[in-house]
Amino acid sequence: MTTNEAAGRRSDTGDRTLRHHTIHHDGVTIPVSRGGRGRPLVLCPGLNSTQADLRELAALLRRDHDVVTFDLRGHGLASAAEQYSFEAFRSDLTAVMTELDAKPVLVGYSLGADLAVHHACEHPGTVAELVLIDGANPVPEPFITEDVLPVFRAMWEDLAARQESRRGTARQVLLTGRQILDLNLEIDAIRSEILDRYRKIDRPIRMIMSTSMAGDGGERFNLNWRAGVERLVREQPHIATSWLDADHQLVFTHAPQIARIIRDDGRGRLA
């Protein structure tokens, strides 16, 4: 792995300055931005989301943290890859984490939360704590079953088609509908075994979860989502959980509340 430091390439963000560089690993280029003050914090996006999408949350977190954001392969300003898989995305996170000289708070959204759990499990001692936003949920039943497979397939084909308008921008997603579907099937399988990963993590863990993950019309999925969190907390009662009255878009619609939970709880841990 090699890093191309763009020391002279900076962007003004009010009274703070963001520093940008790229990481080259595994045949892809990962863009990284860093700025803020305070405890180091890495913010990992999820599937179909980019660091540009998380700009509001990152800006709020920079008031109290030295925040690192980045794009996963095939997302945002990262380069495309020959294949996309959970392990490939996890290697992107690991490449970013390897650069750091201090143990950060590792915050992951959706798929990013799953990547964070697996990273902390596989690399003990590299994070100060985990904050998991609406992901890494050991749901008792898979989300994509045979009866809803056609619906999800059509939904992600439509999403991929709509992404065409973002090509060439910091919010682009280069994955096809089929690749998104395959990744979600893989995530379902990974979450069926994620409880074992939690058992191997000795760092503090906080969860920020949506009460209506699938929206008002998806009560079947919402019940499954809540049951997964309840299952996890029964086994791991030390995990602190905050619920927001929102759907899975909470990281975009409720950024101030999420930042406040991270900031206030973090101060409590330091006290």
At 3 the pLDDT is 46
- 130: helix, strand or coil: strand
- E strand or H helix that includes residue 268: helix 255-270
| Amino acid at the residue 162 | R
Q: Please give the angle made by the CA atoms of 91, 97 and 98, to the nearest 5 degrees.
A: 85
Q: What is the pLDDT of residue 7?
A: 37
The residues facing 13 across adjacent strands are 16
* pLDDT at residue 2, as a whole number: 44
SS (H, E, C) 140-173: CCCCCCCCCHHHHHHHHHHHHHHHHHHCCCCCCE
Burial class of residue 79, CB neighbours in 10 A (0-12, 13-18, 19+):
middle
Please tell me the predicted confidence (pLDDT) of residue 140: 97
Give the separation between CA 64 and CA 85, rounded to whole angstroms.
33
Distances (CA, A) of 265 to 8, 56, 141, 207: 35, 19, 31, 11
What is residue 268's predicted lDDT score, i.e. its pLDDT?
A: 47
Do residues 119 and 132 lie in contact, with contact meaning Cβ atoms separated by under 8 Å?
Answer: no
Q: Domain residue spans in the chain?
A: 2-270
Is CATH 3.40.50.800 correct for 2-270? no
From first to last of its 271 residues, the chain has per-residue pLDDT tens of: 444 444 334 443 433 589 999 999 999 999 999 999 999 999 999 999 999 999 999 999 999 999 999 999 999 999 999 989 999 999 999 999 999 999 999 999 999 999 999 999 999 999 999 999 999 999 999 999 999 999 999 999 999 999 999 999 999 999 999 999 999 999 999 999 999 999 999 999 999 999 999 999 999 999 999 999 999 999 999 999 999 999 999 999 999 999 999 998 765 453 3
